[in-house]
Structure 1
Amino acid sequence: MSNYKAAVIGLGKIGLTYDLDPKRERPSSHVLAYEFNPAIKLVAATDKIKEQELTLHKLAPEVKFYQSVSELLQNNEIDVISICTPPSHHLSAIQQVLQNSAAKIIFCEKPLVGSLEEVTKLKQLLQDTGCHLIPNLSRRWNSGMKRVKDTISSGQYGELQKIHVRYTRGIFNTGAHLFDLLHWWVGKIDRVRILNRIETSADSDNDPSFSFIFKIGDAVTGFAEAFNDSQYYLVEIDLYFSKGKISFRNSGDDVLYYRVGEHHLFSGFKSLLLDRHENKLLAESNLANAVDNIVKVLEGTESPMCTMDDSIYPLYVAQSLLQSYNNDSSEERVGRYE
């Protein structure tokens, strides 16, 4: 039986239409993530494009459609509201929700806001409201990604020494996930320095892609290389430890764990030997897991798996990369511009 009511603002890809893609596991949108959860009833959704009503009703025929956020909030009592609009509209949407509803949770796509200048305004809006703002850094809800974190924390593969990253589609888009995963797994990036800029489809969203070097503390060095996604889409991470390696492949659908052992060709040398290969990790719906967590937050039995501060941190990394680019590839300290 549904105990809580939900609404979705923005019926684009992550809000709705990803679930029209037959290659994607369901649910891959906020609409179906709520529709599939028995503890939540999706009662309303809004989009400026009227034609999205027909698409919505293909997947969720009983959900009321509105063309304005204000109309949706005036006509419904909502416990959870998803914000799936472009980042430049997030702050105004959050403000509308806080001022015109009693929502207990705002579940917002990343990045939470469009710029660091909006971070202070966001914190002021949320002050003393009692409303949880939960960002969708989606891999935080994936059990395979949690196993990576637990394996690193166990020390099974020794000390982390180097990180190699390969990615497409922007320091704000893909970067939000990459910077958050590294933060969650091994710690914050402290310093960055741009090497060059690479053209990708994210340029049309004013989201540049850079190849760059970075440091985590004094012992860990990293290299991130940007690729043009007109050739292929790519998100990969290699974590090199003193006693092994962990490889994140296919956007996290595959994770390979390696240990150090005897080299099979050369006497007296060591090699990396495959311990295990976990695949089809994204067959587990991150959004479904996120909504499960949201229900437990509403019930008071769990804390949010992802916080506002988690989502703001990648913005500081992105800002430092932009500063390095604008300052002729200078080394920049992350957080300097807080």
Structure 2
Amino acid sequence: MAQYKAAVIGLGQIGLTYDFDPKREKPSSHVFAYHLNPRIELVAAVDVRADQYQALHKIAPSVNFYQSMVELLKNHSVDIISVCTPPVHHLSAIQYILQNTDTKIIFCEKPLVSCVDEANLLTQILQKGNRLLIPNLSRRWNSGIQRVKAHIANGQYGELQKIHVKYTRGIHNTGSHIFDLLHWWGGQISEVQAIKKIKTSADYDSDPSYTFAFLIDKNILGFAEAFDDEQYYLFEIDLYFSKGKIEIRNSGDDVFYYQVGEHHLYTGFKSLYLERYENQLLSESNLGNAINHLVNILDGLEHPICTVEHGVYPLYVAETIIRSFNNHCSKERVRL
């Protein structure tokens, strides 16, 4: 079977250092995910910080280290490149890779670019070629979250009617996952209304957090509430259907499925009863699953389940929430 070569641009948390956290599932970084995959040879990595050389070699001792992406790409021809730099550098890195290499897949961290203007430019650039840019909207790779999608698609719990979200850490950081999942499960968000701005640790990265209401395709009502992660971390989603409910808890580690039955207290009314639950879903590595998916794409066995369109969509929603807040919490249409 073919062996593919990979490189990683940026050795921060998701690029490398998450795998030094003993509580995280392994692999949790691009470096370790490539290093563990038997079909991939991780040949090189780059970071502007010279001290990341030692951290890299604790996990992957034989990988070549560079402080310049240009130098790395002069010395190595690779099939997959992971872009794990801060978002402000994503567009320039992607442009350089497309213009100067034959790399088949660019696997890019979220948010895909830093603003809507860059998203529009990126879409135009990619229309001129046939290479793949795949965003790492990581929950798409999780089998438990994929089962939630399947249950919604087959109508097992009836019509999706309302959505409640609780989150921390920014409408670009955590928001990328929220908006992608809502889009994947329910359809496009058509309208938003910011309600209040909340302080979180993402403020240090200029990524604001808002409590806001939203509407999906004119008939699914939603409410998202931001919390300060210095008090506690939250990522929870409740999906209310005409015939049941699905709860996403503990950052997606637990999923609870409820069905409708006769109310145990009141005649003529119905209530929700726990049907089943799945736990420890994050014990499987989302990044490990993603890299397996990239290999299958290169083998011609699968099509991408996450596209550029999915990657830029959250930016339009985030921009609209900011516009709503700046316009005295007005209702705003999401313009795609």
- Same fold (TM > 0.5): yes
Identify the residue that residue 55 of structure 2 maps to in structure 1: 55
Pairing 1:158–2:162 present: no
Give the alignment of 1:180-219 within 5 angstroms: 180-219=180-219
CA RMSD after TM alignment: 1.1
Letter in 1 for 2:313: Y
**CA–CA separation in structure 1 for the residues paired with 2:75 and 2:284:** 34
**CA–CA separation in structure 2 for the residues paired with 1:6 and 1:148:** 31
**CA–CA separation in structure 2 for the residues paired with 1:131 and 1:218:** 35
Give the alignment of 1:62-211 within 5 angstroms: 62-211=62-211
Native 8 Å contact 1:2 1:41 kept in 2: no
Deviations 1:256-288 (A, max 9, x none): 000011222333321110011100111111111
Q: TM-score, normalised by structure 2?
A: 0.98
Give the alignment of 1:245-284 within 5 angstroms: 245-284=245-284
Letter in 1 for 2:235: V
Runs of at least 4 residues of structure 1 off by over 6 A?
A: none
3-state SS of the aligned residue for 2:189? Answer: coil
Native 8 Å contact 1:160 1:220 kept in 2: yes
Identify the residue that residue 231 of structure 2 maps to in structure 1: 231
3-state SS of the aligned residue for 2:135? Answer: strand
**CA–CA separation in structure 2 for the residues paired with 1:128 and 1:153:** 33
The number of residues matched between the two structures is: 336
**CA–CA separation in structure 1 for the residues paired with 2:221 and 2:313:** 19
Deviations 1:98-120 (A, max 9, x none): 12211000000001100011122
**CA–CA separation in structure 1 for the residues paired with 2:173 and 2:128:** 30
Native 8 Å contact 1:29 1:287 kept in 2: yes
3-state SS of the aligned residue for 2:73? Answer: helix
**CA–CA separation in structure 2 for the residues paired with 1:217 and 1:47:** 42
3-state SS of the aligned residue for 1:15? Answer: coil
Identify the residue that residue 6 of structure 1 maps to in structure 2: 6
Identify the residue that residue 45 of structure 1 maps to in structure 2: 45
**CA–CA separation in structure 1 for the residues paired with 2:36 and 2:176:** 27
Letter in 2 for 1:21: D
Native 8 Å contact 2:123 2:308 kept in 1: no
**CA–CA separation in structure 2 for the residues paired with 1:46 and 1:205:** 22
**CA–CA separation in structure 1 for the residues paired with 2:80 and 2:93:** 14
Q: TM-score, normalised by structure 1?
A: 0.97
**CA–CA separation in structure 1 for the residues paired with 2:245 and 2:120:** 39
**CA–CA separation in structure 1 for the residues paired with 2:241 and 2:301:** 36
3-state SS of the aligned residue for 1:190? Answer: strand
**CA–CA separation in structure 2 for the residues paired with 1:183 and 1:120:** 19
Identify the residue that residue 27 of structure 2 maps to in structure 1: 27
3-state SS of the aligned residue for 1:274? Answer: strand
**CA–CA separation in structure 2 for the residues paired with 1:120 and 1:113:** 10
Unaligned runs of 5+ in 1: none
What is the CA distance between 1:127 and its match in structure 2? Answer: 3.0
**CA–CA separation in structure 2 for the residues paired with 1:164 and 1:329:** 19
Give the alignment of 1:285-300 within 5 angstroms: 285-300=285-300
Letter in 1 for 2:156: Q
Letter in 2 for 1:47: D
**CA–CA separation in structure 2 for the residues paired with 1:101 and 1:241:** 48
What is the CA distance between 1:125 and its match in structure 2? Answer: 2.6
Native 8 Å contact 1:43 1:63 kept in 2: yes
Identify the residue that residue 302 of structure 1 maps to in structure 2: 302
3-state SS of the aligned residue for 1:194? Answer: strand
Letter in 2 for 1:290: A
What is the CA distance between 1:32 and its match in structure 2? Answer: 0.8
Native 8 Å contact 1:74 1:100 kept in 2: no
Letter in 2 for 1:304: P
3-state SS of the aligned residue for 2:225? Answer: strand
What is the CA distance between 1:2 and its match in structure 2? Answer: 6.3
What is the CA distance between 1:233 and its match in structure 2? Answer: 0.5
**CA–CA separation in structure 1 for the residues paired with 2:154 and 2:77:** 45
**CA–CA separation in structure 1 for the residues paired with 2:241 and 2:122:** 38
**CA–CA separation in structure 2 for the residues paired with 1:35 and 1:217:** 42
**CA–CA separation in structure 2 for the residues paired with 1:106 and 1:287:** 15
**CA–CA separation in structure 2 for the residues paired with 1:127 and 1:222:** 34
